[in-house]
A and B are shown apart, each in its own frame.
Chain A
Amino acid sequence: SAVISQKPSRDICQRGTSLTIQCQVDSQVTMMFWYRQQPGQSLTLIATANQGSEATYESGFVIDKFPISRPNLTFSTLTVSNMSPEDSSIYLCSVRGETEAFFGQGTRLTVV
């Protein structure tokens, strides 16, 4: 298993601002994943972050809105840009083992 530290754990932000979420893993991993979890809905994959290359975004998510950095094999950041109340959600960092996915504790974002 992997230990994933994510921060901040929660934040309340003004609309129009940006928030950067950090994710640290206790071991080197090739791919790191960013999810969004909205109330009552399934976890939705935002993007896959590979070290040394641009992130791969899922349909409905774009780099300008959710820029991602992956400077090394244990760290990644997700920025939520130009926030609106619709961005209020839980954002989760994830890595994968042989068969399973492991998650950080999540960042609960409220945009007011």
Chain B
Amino acid sequence: QKEVEQDPGPLSVPEGAIVSLNCTYSNSAFQYFMWYRQYSRKGPELLMYTYSSGNKEDGRFTAQVDKSSKYISLFIRDSQPSDSATYLCAMRGLGYGQNFVFGPGTRLSVLP
């Protein structure tokens, strides 16, 4: 079993739809959870990060972490064509030296 699992997609939705992106993980030591957006031919850019369980909202984006289920989600409301990108989840344990573990990314297309 991989440490972090993520459906690679591709996922196609119409403009304005609510998008749900998810990752599951196996290491209960993970405490920090991040979502990155990567446009084609660009490096990943940090969208959101959360610490431990709970929700965090930033504009149209909501990140959820359920540590009991080892499951994290990113919701995108009112999706736009500019949201078309690959979304990677990432996580790590406590302590500065802890390695980041990334999911393979979900490719999202928002169709106008």
Which A residues contact B (CB, under 8 angstroms)? Answer: 1, 4, 6, 9-10, 40-43, 45, 92, 96, 99-106, 108
Please tell me the number of chain B residues within 8 Å of chain A, measured between CB atoms.
24
B44 pairs with A103, CB closer than 8 A: yes
Residues of A within 8 A of B41 (CB): 9-10, 105-106, 108
Residue-wise, chain B 101-112 has the 8 Å CB interface mask toward A (1 for contact) of 111110000000
Give the distance in Å from the alpha carbon of A40 to the alpha carbon of B38 in the complex.
13
Residues of B within 8 A of A40 (CB): 8, 104
A92 pairs with B43, CB closer than 8 A: yes
A105 pairs with B42, CB closer than 8 A: yes
B32 contacts the other chain (Cβ, under 8 Å)?
yes
Residues of B within 8 A of A45 (CB): 99-100
What 7 additional pairs, Cβ within 8 angstroms, besides A42-B101, A100-B34? Answer: A6-B43, A10-B41, A42-B2, A101-B90, A102-B46, A103-B44, A105-B42
Residues of A within 8 A of B88 (CB): 42-43
Q: Which residue of A lies closest to B88 (CB)?
A: A43
